[in-house]
Amino acid sequence: MAAPMRRVACRSFLAFSLRLHQNTTFKNFKSLASFKLPSATNFCRRIHVSKAGGLKNGEFEMQDPKSEEDVVNIVYIDRDDIRHEIKGKVGDNVMYLAHRYDIDIEGACEASLACCTCHVVLPDNFYDKLSEPTEEEEDMLDLAPFLTATSRLGCQVILTKELEGMEVRLPQATRNFYVDGHVPEPH
């Protein structure tokens, strides 16, 4: 659903830009040369269709568990081998939960399966409890450095009670093809 919506949004941006250009009068060639259209990429990036029924990306993960039955305890092991014991809840996405607790997972594409910056490594026994990765996830994982047999994208790992006590290890590095030198910030 998001891809067709994005195409429509980009088409409307192009139509808007064309109208703006046609309705702008230039007094001289110098003012024409300095005229800049808004960036299509920035315009299209701002448009996002939520799949969560009114919640923005990551809002579900920002809510505390409603009951003790919903709590799932997991451990993040960061790049410096520091353990972070976290209380998540059933339905949390591993990437957004990490953002909530300021754990250094980038998530550049905001869980749209367009990057591999939320790459995590799971223990064998927990990896086997997850559903098989989709073809799209496997395609993105193929781009990830430090790939292992139990690598997954954190944005695709949804917590269940079966994952109680899971250790989520962050690889030594991730690769963001979009921007070199980008410093990740929580969303």
Over the stretch 28-70, which tens digit does the pLDDT of each residue have? 445 445 555 555 444 444 444 334 444 455 555 567 777 788 8
Whether the Cβ atoms of residue 106 and residue 176 lie closer than 8 Å to each other? yes
At residue 170, the pLDDT reads: 95
Which percentage of the chain shows pLDDT scores above 90? 49
pLDDT of amino acid 182? 58
**Is pLDDT at 114 greater than 80 in this prediction?**
yes
Question: For 131-174, what is each residue's pLDDT tens digit?
Answer: 999 999 999 999 999 999 999 999 999 999 999 999 999 999 88
Distance (Å, rounded) from C-alpha 75 to C-alpha 127?
A: 14
Please name the helix (run of DSSP H) or strand (run of DSSP E) that holds residue 152, with its range, or none.
strand 151-153
- Owner of token pair 């869980």: 111
Do 149 and 116 fall within a single domain?
Answer: yes
Residue 80 forms part of a structural domain: yes
Question: Residue 110 in contact with residue 86, Cβ under 8 Å?
Answer: no
Q: Are residues 97 and 71 in the same domain?
A: yes
Who has greater pLDDT, 1 or 165?
Answer: 165
Are 113 and 93 spatial neighbours (Cβ–Cβ below 8 Å)?
Answer: no
Find the CATH number of the domain harbouring 105.
Answer: 3.10.20.30
Q: Which pLDDT score is estimated for 174?
A: 82
Task: Give the number of domains in the chain.
Answer: 2
Burial 49-62 (b: 16+ CB within 10 A, else e): eeeeeeeebbebbe
Phi, psi at residue 88, to the nearest 5°? Answer: -100, -170
Contact 159, 97 (CB under 8 A): yes
The pLDDT of residue 34 is 53
* Tokens found for residue 27: 């007094």
Residues 40 and 68 in one domain: no
> Average pLDDT over the chain, rounded to whole?
76
As given in the structure block, the two tokens for residue 184 are 């990740």
pLDDT of residue 108: 87
Its domain, for residue 18, covers 2-46
Bridge partners (DSSP) of residue 153 are 119
